[in-house]
Amino acid sequence: MDMLMFQLEKNSSIPLYEQLYKEIKKSIIEGVIPVHTKLPSKRKLAEFLMLSQTTIELAYAQLVAEGYIIAKPRIGYFVEDVEDLAYIETKKAVISSIKEPSPTIEIDFHPGHIDTASFPFTIWRKYAKDAIDFHEKDLLLIGSPQGEFSLREEIAHYLYQSRGIHCSPEQIVIGSGTEQLLPMMMKLFGDYNVYAIENPGYKLTHHIFTQYYQKTIAIDVDEDGINIHDLECTQANIAYVTPSHQFPTGAVLSASRRAQLLNWAAEKDNRFIIEDDYDSEFRYVGKPISSLQSMDHRETVIYISTFSKSLMPSLRIAFFVLPPQLLTRYNDLFTYYTSTVPRFEQHILAQFMKDGHFAKHLNRMRKIYRKKIEKLTLALSHYAPTVKISGEQAGMHIVLTVIHSQSASTLAKIALQQGIRIAPIDHYRMTPSNLVTQKKDFLLGFGGIDEQLIIPSIHRLMNAWQISRQQ
């Protein structure tokens, strides 16, 4: 390189060496000065810019220290490859950040959203104040590794009343979410396990297992839940299932398959079932489905659940229930751990549950979500038989099946261009489907959509896909 041309402000409060350093750094990041370029010598650059050599030397030294250039003795200074620096905002990154903005999401059918307008903020605020007034000193200290006993006591009572689960507070471990509790379970199970996961299924679970280098096998799901025959043909010894409202298909694990799954776990030592009781709180047809844990007499089921849907995703309180046979190992491994959930939130939730507000809130939300799903069903019925729904008996999402010549991913993009976000079921598959069909399946969450907007939102989606009303 012949020379560097920069406009420096000699009257600025910023030192000249710092101005020069920033200008050279910017030129390197943006690619104006290519990789491996030899920079002018300190003497030549000082003469050209009419600066002291000390100023040039200080600027070069800072660039060397940060890895933008390298000094080769008796040869000179050369530009380094900034792509190798993880923290560098390269020109490519700058260009990508100014690309066309994504379409504004006006209608979001995300399955994880809740009805925020119906949360009892006034009551929650009261218990937050009470937690400070009555537990102010305790809140400053580290609590039990398993979580506050008062909350575990309330959870045990709730599980017995709602899910038929017999457990003591000592069997319950509280954590900040599935992503924190699952690694604890893996440690409990020890090494050399093979995990069976549902396909399609919860992608986060799959990511967690693979991040911890656990072997996973995807087992297909049909209208009766996970295929037990396929499971029996594998080397899996731990099955992760969502039997009450399978995510994302909405299937309920049939009674016969529940019995088969429990028998599978009981056939050999070191076989376990992780029962993720996803969406079990909200059922709109018939009685609640019994949990696997309540049917388990061999101590093979680890029950896991969360308050994300029943209260709020931001609360970050989840828990699992250990069978007695794993308690000793848990105490040996996790005695010195600390709970990942602040005591403040635990005290609020414990009192909220103890005074009956959690049960009241669930009853109220069931009515609200039932009305939403009724409107959703009504709106979609006008487009039958081109569209049909399934999984509407429970939970906060349904599966929408559409007969269309376009691919599911293309339809999702078309919807997005109209301000509607909806996810194809294929996004949740662990292995790609080889089935070629005109039927396209989508996950349609309704929890976060205002009841009055459901019918117009469906009409807008159908218009985007050019599907006409049939009736």
- Has domain 16-79 been given CATH number 1.10.10.10? yes
Please state whether beta strands 225-226 and 215-222 pair in parallel, antiparallel, or not at all (unpaired): antiparallel
Instruction: Give pLDDT, residue 469.
Output: 87
CATH superfamily of 107-111+363-465: Aspartate Aminotransferase, domain 1 (3.90.1150.10)
**Domain 121-359 top-level CATH class:** alpha beta
Instruction: Give pLDDT, residue 82.
Output: 62
Instruction: Give pLDDT, residue 5.
Output: 78
Say if CB 357 and CB 363 are below 8 A apart. Answer: no
Instruction: Give pLDDT, residue 29.
Output: 82
Instruction: Give pLDDT, residue 102.
Output: 65
Please state whether beta strands 272-276 and 238-241 pair in parallel, antiparallel, or not at all (unpaired): parallel
Which part of the chain has CATH 1.10.10.10?
16-79
Rounded CA-CA distance 182/314 in Å is 19
Which part of the chain has CATH 3.40.640.10?
121-359
- pTM for this one? 0.77
Dihedral angle of Cα 307, 142, 326, 169, to the nearest 10 degrees: -60
The length of the chain in residues reads 471
pLDDT averaged over 10-residue windows placed end to end, the chain, 471 residues: 76 86 87 86 87 88 81 85 52 49 84 92 94 85 92 97 94 93 94 95 90 92 95 97 93 93 95 93 82 94 95 93 95 90 94 97 95 95 94 91 93 94 91 70 94 95 92 65
Which part of the chain has CATH 3.90.1150.10?
107-111+363-465
Amino acid in the structure at residue 204: L
Note the maximum CA span of the chain.
87
- Distance spanning both ends of the chain, measured CA to CA: 74
Backbone angles phi, psi at 194, to 5 degrees: -125, 125
Instruction: Give pLDDT, residue 1.
Output: 60
Instruction: Give pLDDT, residue 87.
Output: 46
Say if CB 249 and CB 219 are below 8 A apart. Answer: no
